[in-house]
């Protein structure tokens, strides 16, 4: 009888190694070695030639000795790691894209690379609507005044001048209509918002929602929310020119990727009042540097530290989707979400 496949479950403090182990052992007879990486208690960043990874090449190489499968979210699968682990044949990344994997090197080393699409779509969509409501109705600012300072001054948000906007009948523009954007659209329609969509990869109407050009959508929207992937084409998609197209007093929501928005241009628009509020979960630089202008705009900006996908269900889904790929590989079946 052949020995069980050796698998490394390189989890972290969100997708726990134990979650990966439980999911993988349900799919395959295997010997699992667990490794806990530091994220999110330690920030991710570039490691060698890969992006958004934990700085743990040495720890990963040690754990992968003799292993054929790696399941991870933040493990840095670099050329150095791949070269040091000749037994490795499958890497499954518990996230929507394997940005922590050198795909070219994986091909050279005959390593298959899979990922877990859709794991956080529902969580991110819900978080987007929550941030949008918080920005529109000034909820964090009022909370800070009352709970943080014991002040009833938040009652000024009941004056006509300072009161917020409600979603019913509000023109809301979605930039991107993928797994997250489509869920946000359904939620906003339930609120009675007038939902518009810009997505260059979609045509015609989607469930009755008319597609617009970006400029047309910006001119008509009181709120815009971003749901595009970050690519060379979408970096800086919303800059000074685009923000100027928005009606005065509009709101910008970004729970996608920080560099989609020119942060300096957004700060300019907030300071001038042309954009009345912003709700941000992602930033041009993460963690946000201490000198960021955004910190001086707390009365107009709702900020969270990239929490859109932070739900227990996301961690459990990611482990399960990854484990299912390991099971297919072990049974010799076609892989569902494979890039190499």
Structural domain containing residue 41: 5-119+311-331
Q: Tokens 């999110």 map to which residue?
A: 40
* Residue 47: strand pairing partners: 50
What pLDDT score does 204 carry?
61
Same domain, yes or no, for 126 and 113? Answer: no
Q: What are the strands, taking DSSP E only, across the chain?
A: 5-11, 30-36, 45-47, 50-53, 69-72, 90-93, 112-114, 171-175, 194-198, 205-206, 209-210, 223-226, 250-254, 275-280, 301-303
- Measure the CA–CA gap between 224 and 326, rounded to whole angstroms: 39
Residue 326 near residue 337, CB atoms below 8 Å? no
Q: State the pTM of this model.
A: 0.91
pLDDT tens, residue by residue, 161-214 = 889 999 999 999 999 999 999 999 999 999 999 999 999 987 666 777 878 999
Same domain, yes or no, for 111 and 204? Answer: no
Catalytic one of 300, 306, 320, 328: 306
Same domain, yes or no, for 133 and 231? Answer: yes
Catalytic one of 138, 227, 257, 320: 257
Catalytic one of 219, 286, 293, 316: 286
pLDDT tens, residue by residue, 73-126 = 999 999 999 999 999 999 999 998 899 999 999 999 999 999 999 899 999 999
pLDDT tens, residue by residue, 3-37 = 899 999 999 999 999 999 999 999 999 999 999 99
Q: Annotated catalytic, 212?
A: no
- Measure the CA–CA gap between 259 and 23, rounded to whole angstroms: 34
Same domain, yes or no, for 94 and 186? Answer: no
Q: Are strands 250-254 and 275-280 parallel, antiparallel or unpaired?
A: parallel
Same domain, yes or no, for 129 and 189? Answer: yes
Q: How many domains does the chain have?
A: 2
Neighbouring residues of 1: CB distance < 8 A, sequence distance ≥ 6: none
Q: Annotated catalytic, 257?
A: yes
- Per the domain annotation, does 26 fall within a domain? yes
- Per the domain annotation, does 101 fall within a domain? yes
Q: How open is the CA angle 105-96-240, to the nearest 5 degrees?
A: 100
């Amino acid at each position: 009888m052949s020995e069980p496949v050796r698998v490394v479950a390189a989890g972290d403090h969100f997708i726990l190694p134990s979650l990966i182990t439980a999911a993988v052992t349900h799919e395959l007879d295997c010997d699992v070695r667990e490794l806990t990486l530091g994220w999110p208690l330690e920030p991710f960043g570039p490691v060698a030639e890969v992006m958004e990874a934990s700085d743990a090449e040495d720890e990963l190489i040690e754990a992968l000795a003799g292993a054929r499968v790696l399941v991870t979210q933040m493990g840095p699968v670099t050329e150095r790691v791949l070269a040091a682990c000749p037994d490795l044949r499958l890497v499954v990344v518990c996230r929507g894209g394997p940005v922590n994997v050198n795909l070219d090197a994986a091909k050279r080393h005959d390593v298959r690379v899979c990922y877990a699409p859709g794991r956080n779509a529902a969580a991110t969509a819900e978080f987007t609507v929550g941030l949008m409501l918080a920005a529109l109705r000034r909820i964090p600012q009022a909370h800070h005044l009352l709970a943080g300072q014991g002040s009833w001054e938040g009652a000024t948000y009941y004056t006509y001048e300072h009161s917020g906007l409600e979603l019913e009948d509000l023109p809301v523009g979605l930039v991107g209509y993928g797994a997250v954007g489509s869920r946000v659209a359904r939620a906003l329609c339930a609120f009675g918002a007038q939902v518009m969509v810009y997505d260059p990869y979609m045509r015609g109407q989607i469930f009755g929602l008319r597609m617009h050009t970006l400029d047309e959508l910006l001119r008509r929207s009181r709120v815009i929310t971003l749901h595009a992937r970050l690519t060379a084409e979408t970096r800086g998609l919303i800059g000074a020119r685009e923000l100027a197209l928005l009606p005065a007093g509009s709101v910008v929501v970004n729970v996608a990727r920080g560099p989609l928005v020119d942060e300096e241009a957004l700060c300019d628009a907030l300071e001038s009042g042309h954009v009345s509020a912003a709700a941000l979960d992602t930033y041009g630089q993460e963690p946000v540097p201490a000198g960021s202008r955004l910190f001086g705009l707390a009365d107009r900006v709702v900020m969270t530290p990239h929490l859109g996908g932070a739900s227990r269900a996301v961690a459990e889904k990611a482990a399960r989707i990854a484990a299912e790929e390991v099971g297919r590989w072990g049974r010799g079946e076609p892989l569902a979400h494979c890039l190499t």
